[in-house]
Amino acid sequence: MPTPQTIEKANDIKLNDFVIRFANVNGTGSASANFLFAKAIFRMGIPVTPKNIFPSNIQGLPTWYEVRVSEEGWLGRRDGIDFMVSVNPQSMPGDIASVRPGGYFMYDSTKMLYEEFIRPDIHYIGVPMMELSVRAFKDARQRQLFKNVIYVGALSELLGIEFQALVEVLNSQFKGKEKLIEPNVKALQMGIDFVKENYHEPINIRLERRDLIGDSILIDGNTACGLGAVYGGATVCTWYPITPSTSVAESFNKFCSKYRIDPETGKKNFAFVQSEDELAAVGMAIGAGWNGARSFTATSGPGLSLMNEFLGLAYFAEIPMVLFDIQRTGPSTGMPTRTQQSDVFEAAYASHGDTKQVVLFPSTPKECFEMSAQAFDLAEQLQTPIIMLSDLDLGMNDHISEPLVWDDNQKYNRGKVLSAEILDEMESFGRYLDVDGDGIPYRTYPGTHPEKGAYFTRGSSKDEYAKYTESGEDYKRNMDRLLKKFNTAKDLVPAPQLYQETNQSKEGILFFGTSKYAAEEALHLLKKDGKTLDAIRIKAFPFNQTVEDFIHSHDRVYVVEQNRDAQLRSLLMIELEIDPKKLIKILNYDGMPITADDIIKRV
């Protein structure tokens, strides 16, 4: 294998439009170097989507970081790798095979490439990353870390990343640890210099500054969820660690530790409890919600299974709380570091007996923030658990998002809670009495009034005055009221997004959550090919009238989701009594985020 290789000049220049993948070893500090690469492109005003494809492992196994750059602004995943940066011998054969013909393969040329790794249809770029690093840095850990920064430097020279953009990112990345900036810049420069000295032919992938980002931010969904909980007034967070939800709780704690400390006493205006398991986590959230604090827990599929019994109690005893389920690939332990939308059913009908839960489906970090805050209002308005159903792709990957905004005039909607003054004027109080005809009763917090408003909360059947009953009539009346309340929720939850003012086609496409990115790109590509589809993005369960109308006004509707069993489609069939033949499944469930291609080839 000859190194360095001559780089052929290509005819079709990919300007601000390519997919690059980094193949690293887990636990070698590659994440921050790869982030530096993606963030610098973002700083150049070019739409970029980084995705971490990581193993369930702390150190040693292969991990990948995939960055899609799209001048047109498509932020979903795209198959086909134009550029591979290989720093992991373990995964090298597969990594070489995955490069599309005509693409590039950058590798650490400190060691020779095996003959059998040579493909005639791709370009090889050897950079002696480790050799350069060893020469410049003494400490073993530093050598490992800066090897990664060296390839970012080399890439910046090859692809045209502005040096200043890289330095700006380093400056903000190492705020407070400024002495780390200098060696990072040095490593970048070494990569740049190596390419300058050894490569003189341009490659056909180029980056050029644009102004397509505006005031957008690059943030992951879990951080935005945690921040939304802070803004939404959550005071009690109870949780048990589980990938990929852990960073929701951590984000809440981080922002609270900054913005929820009493300036005079230094005491905390929040409680953050890492509990012994998910059963306790949800139980604590329910106890706090019952007692009038805004509370939440964050988990993933296995945790949601454990929480099911308690969710039935909260549904039946009508206790507000918020549950974040950051979905991963199930069932069981499944692929804990891969994404999926496969908890739809488990969330919607969580628990035994007749239960229906309110579920929200955010698609972007901005929606993570807004819906999280709104979820606390909804929980108290409806006196029931609200499940925020996000996924690993949205939760743990950075996404370009509109900036987060808060209306300072907004007041929390604490729902129907009786104060001591109101209780004083009341003859009698019925905790489960449907006074307003919307199925939502009034409640009291413990400790409100010395002599009025006390009631007994229970998971067993009760009458309107919270008295234990085994009367079938009383039980049925209560269950019917709960259903009425669920119907009231239809107009309180976020409305779906319609992509057209009037229908353009007999065919529609319906999607939710992170399928949005691929679906929007697919719609665009299909339109370019002359096929127009009407589209709707669902944001909540229960489905409101708009969803029903959309389906009824089309001959067939493609339902896009990232699970095997078409769970949302079933939910539509059950709840809206839609003919199954009308709903065409488009499914993706390999653990990777769905692509526009996945959709187009099934339409």
Give residues 308-337 in contact with another protein (rule: CB under 8 A). Answer: 309-310, 313
Instruction: Please choose, out of 289-297, 515-523, 546-554, 594-602, the segment that lies near another protein by the rule CB under 8 A.
Output: 289-297
Instruction: Choose, by CB under 8 A, the member of 85, 284, 519, 587 that binds another protein.
Output: 284
Map the footprint of another protein across residues 559-588, applying CB under 8 A: none
**What residues form DSSP beta bridges with 123?**
104
Query: Would you state the torsion angle of the CA atoms of residues 194, 198, 201, 203, taken in this order, to the nearest 10 degrees?
Result: -40
User: Looking at beta carbons only, is 84 or 237 nearer to another protein?
Assistant: 237
> Using CB under 8 A, which of 295, 340, 364, 381 touches another protein?
295
Nearer to another protein, 232 or 330 (CB): 232
How many residues of this chain interact with another protein, rule: CB under 8 A? 73
Which positions from 236 through 255 interact with another protein, judged by CB under 8 A? 236, 238, 255
Beta carbon nearer to another protein, 214 or 472: 214
Burial class (CB in 10 A: 0-12, 13-18, 19+), 231: middle
Which of the ranges 98-106, 179-187, 256-264, 582-590 carries the binding residues for another protein, by CB under 8 A?
Answer: 256-264
The runs of H, that is alpha helices, within 28-162 are 30-43, 92-97, 129-136, 140-159
DSSP, res 595: B
Specify the stretch interacting with another protein by CB under 8 A; choose among 139-147, 217-225, 379-387, 579-587: 217-225
Residues 24, 148, 235, 355: which binds another protein (CB under 8 A)?
235
CB nearer another protein, residue 208 or residue 277: 277
Task: Tell me the C-alpha distance between 66 and 50, whole Å.
Answer: 6
Greatest pairwise CA separation for the chain in angstroms: 92
Q: Which residue in the set 196, 412, 424, 426 belongs to the binding site for another protein (CB under 8 A)?
A: 412
Peptide bond into 441 cis (omega under 30): no
Q: Which is nearer to another protein, 5 or 457 (CB)?
A: 457
Closest CA to 363 of 52, 76, 17, 54: 76
Q: Does residue 165 bind another protein (CB under 8 A)?
A: no
Sole window of 287-295, 480-488, 555-563, 575-583 interacting with another protein (rule: CB under 8 A): 287-295
Q: Which residues contact 14 (CB under 8 A, 6 or more apart)?
A: 82, 204, 205, 206
Q: Are 148 and 139 in contact (CB under 8 A)?
A: no
Contact by Cβ (8 Å): 243, 78:
no
**Among 583, 405, 362, 365, which residue's Cα sits nearest to residue 493?**
362
Phi, psi of 115, rounded to the nearest 5 degrees? -55, -40
Q: Is the peptide bond before 542 cis (omega within 30 degrees of 0)?
A: yes
Query: Could you give the string, one character per residue 445-484, with x where binding to another protein holds by CB under 8 A and - elsewhere?
Result: xxxxxxx--xxxxxxx-------x----------------
Residue with smaller CB distance to another protein, 248 or 572: 248
Q: Which stretch binds another protein (CB under 8 A): 87-95, 132-140, 399-407, 490-498?
A: 399-407
114 lines the binding site for another protein (CB under 8 A): no
Which of 275, 488, 497, 504 is in the footprint of another protein by CB under 8 A? 275
Binding of residue 270 to another protein (CB under 8 A): yes
Q: How far is the CB of 8 from another protein (least distance, A)?
A: 37
Q: How far apart are CA 291 and CA 275, in angstroms?
A: 19
CA distance 19 to 48: 10
